[in-house]
Amino acid sequence: MTFIQCKQLTREYRKGETVIKPLDDLELEVTRGEFLALMGPSGSGKTTLLNLIAGIDSPTRGSLVVEGVDLATLRRNSLAEWRSKHVGYIFQLYNLVPVLTAYENVELPLLLHPLTRKERHRRVSESLERVGIADRSDHFPRQLSGGQEQRVAIARAIVTDPAIIVADEPTGDLDKPSAHAVMSLLQEFNRELGKTIIMVTHDPNTTQYARRTLHMDKGRLVEQDSTQPAFVGGSA
């Protein structure tokens, strides 16, 4: 069943007299529970597509339908509300707030929801436990390794129980063992929790964890049929 559908999806902006088009009439369908990796050279439109699916940006033209809702038709406030309920975002450089503890960083998205303090505590504790970093909950980002920071960022992304997780180069700043640990977590969320994951990566090793890999160039998909078996373990 199609969960995300992009039709003639276009994003463009002007830089002086030049029109720059990161996405150009892109067509894409993603099924619910899929783990999709997007590869391609810098400037190919991968992150632009990720931001549109995440509801961070809006397309210039075309439609982007997620579970029956066309995000292209939503105004900014409605888009932000939709994003807070449906999407968890994992960044390459973690984007943790340095003056907040790991616990407080994970709690941040929940402050936008009408939850009691007790319920927020339960969800944060469960998320930190799930990524294996509950014992660092009172640590600040500067007291954590890169791998630990990314685990906190993943806990923050899943704490609202989103249907979609988008990840922009989630292992780009990590060493090999930490990258493997992070990718194993994402695979677990996909397989055991049924999360739909869309990941941008330059590292072909990380695509082994995805169920499908597509390649982008100049704002379009250049390889539509590249289904591969899900990775089952081993070193990244």
pLDDT value at residue 15: 86
Q: Identity (one letter) of the amino acid at 5?
A: Q
DSSP string covering the chain: -EEEEEEEEEEEEEETTEEEEEEEEEEEEEETT-EEEEE--TTSSHHHHHHHHTTSS--SEEEEEETTEEGGG--HHHHHHHHHHHEEEE-TT----TTS-HHHHHHGGGGGS---HHHHHHHHHHHHHHTT-GGGTT--GGGS-HHHHHHHHHHHHHTT--SEEEEESTTTTS-HHHHHHHHHHHHHHHHHH--EEEEE-S-TTGGGGSSEEEEEETTEEEE---B-PPP-SS--
Sheet holding 220-223, edge to edge: 87-90, 164-168, 196-200, 35-39, 212-217, 220-223
Looking at the chain, the whole-number percentage of residues with pLDDT higher than 70 is: 94
How would CATH label the architecture of 32-59+75-223?
Answer: 3-Layer(aba) Sandwich (3.40)
pTM score of the predicted model? 0.89
Each residue of 176-205: pLDDT tens digit?
Answer: 999 999 999 999 999 999 999 999 999 999
Average pLDDT, the chain: 91
At residue 162, does pLDDT exceed 70? Answer: yes
Grade residue 223 by pLDDT with cuts at 50, 70 and 90. low
Of 49, 83, 2, give the one whose Cα is nearest residue 168: 49
Task: Return the residue matching tokens 């720059």.
Answer: 20
- 78-128 pLDDT, tens digit each: 999 999 999 999 998 999 999 999 999 999 999 989 999 999 999 999 999
pLDDT of 46 reads 94
| Residue ranges of domains in the chain | 32-59+75-223
> How many CA atoms lie within 13 Å of 35's alpha carbon, on the beta-carbon side?
24
Q: What radius of gyration do the chain's Cα atoms show?
A: 18
